Structure 1
């Protein structure tokens, strides 16, 4: 079983399947699942701009770590050379590495995080404050940020961007929620 939470339709609640992974980030989640979870609990997925602001910790950090630098003691990344808390190449408990200046853990590494936005090549050139890329045309590309346990350090840069299709999930895609 690839997941450790499930939705129980009888009780209409999400439930824990495997308590040994209760502090791991949720993964194997598609954008649709992340969106549904956030709506169920009356919260949301961060916009891409909100995610980057949080990752920078109120500063102009290059990496979303305690001091903006990156090495294997600060984040879980790179499947070829796993981090100190991850010798086997997989997710680790949330909070295994130091928090950023806002007190947020794992903004870089562990799992990619889905954002609310559709992916736009022109995100940095649009010049809109806290933009939310509203759906235009026929795209199923959604933004993901932060890199993961099996990606290179460049994907953990606070300004690094990627996308994937909203119907795709795997063992290094997850999400975090925001309260509006």
Structure 2
């Protein structure tokens, strides 16, 4: 607790503050105040006392059950993720389109685009089953890179006239949607 004496704040007692309190304190709090951090469910409350004034702020934490509680929940599977379902649709579409026409005879491009499409859904699944959020985020980043690789190869296939314009637009749109979903999921998955 700190008290104000003659225009200056002086500490009455010295208490160790947690790293969270030190990190979140403003210059006034560090100079002449005290702070306390409490968690209440999904809300983290900071209470500051600066020169006699009490200031309270709150931060809403992301829901923890999405990643941490699902580990013990046998009903939760990577197949439930919308982004994985869309990535599966992308892989199936790529396999179907590469098995037709002139695309069928270009073994190098056909093999490369198929591997990249399968890599998207495989990395989502593998990351989902990992033990930490940071590993999940890493695998989501790898999956997004593979989705970009598919988009790049679609441009090449269109340039070589293996795809007509409507096939290209359909596949490109699906691939771009998967990339956006991956970016959104990665941004909403905090690392711990």
**Is this a same-fold pair by TM over 0.5?**
no
Tell which has more relative contact order, 1 or 2 (C-alpha 8 A, sep 6+).
1
The structure number with the bigger radius of gyration is: 2
| Structure with the higher helix share, 1 or 2 | 2
Q: TM-score, normalised by structure 2?
A: 0.21
